[in-house]
């Protein structure tokens, strides 16, 4: 027997809200019903996701989750991010829905991945398939990897921010590219914690790091965060 397929069924409070979210990401509706139970099915290329309404469902209490294995998480992230920006006017980093950026996951053999949290609070975890990635070699890189696991896999943003801020204080002479990547993530974590002042401080420190051409992607992420934060009052 071959060709089996698994389709996740995720809870939500309103399929209308979820359908709007899914269409913004480039999915198309393949099935929808209101009775006897509200149910929604969508597809994007070979990816199928289904939702059902659950009375009294609260997104902050959801344990719903699924794993999506792809060849290139960055490509899928950019497609999802473009849809979210068009729908919300910015990349949503907090609330429901929200998204994390692609980063190597130490708890997934170092493979790059990101998490998409839907309006129902379900975590759609996207990860690259293939051989294990390299282990981080420096202390700051290891701390950054641990912070990614804490924030983007476990959802403990406060712990991730504390861990990363401490690691940066202990490594003032670390590789410039590693400092830029760590500071960009610390700024994002601060936004996710609702602390724009700390985010601006991390971005200012990042701007003062010279060179680090290898961290061009992190600098672009930092520039987007700065634009979202806007000027200080």
Which domains, and CATH codes, for the chain? 9-127 (3.10.180.10), 136-229 (1.25.40)
Q: Mean of the pLDDT values across residues 87-99?
A: 96
Q: For position 204, what pLDDT does the model report?
A: 96
153 vs 134: which has the higher pLDDT:
153
Residues 2-50: tens digit of each pLDDT: 889 899 999 999 999 999 999 999 999 999 999 999 999 999 999 999 9
158 pLDDT above the threshold of 90: yes
Q: For position 226, what pLDDT does the model report?
A: 95
113 pLDDT above the threshold of 90: yes
Select from 51, 15, 60, 49 the least CA-distant residue to 34. Answer: 15
The predicted model scores a pTM of 0.89
Q: Mean of the pLDDT values across residues 121-126?
A: 97
Q: What's the mean per-residue pLDDT of the chain?
A: 93
| Banded model confidence at residue 111, pLDDT cuts 50, 70, 90 | confident
202 pLDDT above the threshold of 80: yes
Q: Mean of the pLDDT values across residues 103-130?
A: 89
Residues 210-223: tens digit of each pLDDT: 876 788 999 999 99
Long-range contacts formed by 220-227: CB under 8 A, 24+ apart: 221/101, 221/184, 221/188, 222/180, 222/183, 222/184, 222/187, 224/91, 225/184, 225/187, 225/188, 225/191, 225/199, 226/200
Select from 155, 188, 149, 186 the least CA-distant residue to 171. Answer: 186
CB 102 within 8 A of CB 74: yes
């Amino acid at each position: 027997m071959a060709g089996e397929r698994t389709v996740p069924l995720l809870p939500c409070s309103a399929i209308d809200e979820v359908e709007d979210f899914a269409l913004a990401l480039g999915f198309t509706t393949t099935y929808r019903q209101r009775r006897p139970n509200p149910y929604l099915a969508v597809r994007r290329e070979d990816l199928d996701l289904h939702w059902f309404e659950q009375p009294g469902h609260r997104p902050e209490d959801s344990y719903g989750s699924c794993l999506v294995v792809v060849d290139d998480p960055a490509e899928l992230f950019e497609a999802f991010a473009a849809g979210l920006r068009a729908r919300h006017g910015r990349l949503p980093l907090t609330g429901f829905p929200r998204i994390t950026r692609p980063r190597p996951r130490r708890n997934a053999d170092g493979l790059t991945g990101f998490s998409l949290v839907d309006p129902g609070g379900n975590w759609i975890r996207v990860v690259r398939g293939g051989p294990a990635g390299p282990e981080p070699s420096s202390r700051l890189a290891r701390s950054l990897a641990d912070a990614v696991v804490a924030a983007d896999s476990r959802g403990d943003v406060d712990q991730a921010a504390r861990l990363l801020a401490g690691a940066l204080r202990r490594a003032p002479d670390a590789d410039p590219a590693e400092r830029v990547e760590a500071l960009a993530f610390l700024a994002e974590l601060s936004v996710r914690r609702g602390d724009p002042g700390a985010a601006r401080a991390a971005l200012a420190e990042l701007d003062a790091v010279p060179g680090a051409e290898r961290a061009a992607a992190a600098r672009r992420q930092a520039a987007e965060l700065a634009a979202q934060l806007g000027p200080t009052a």
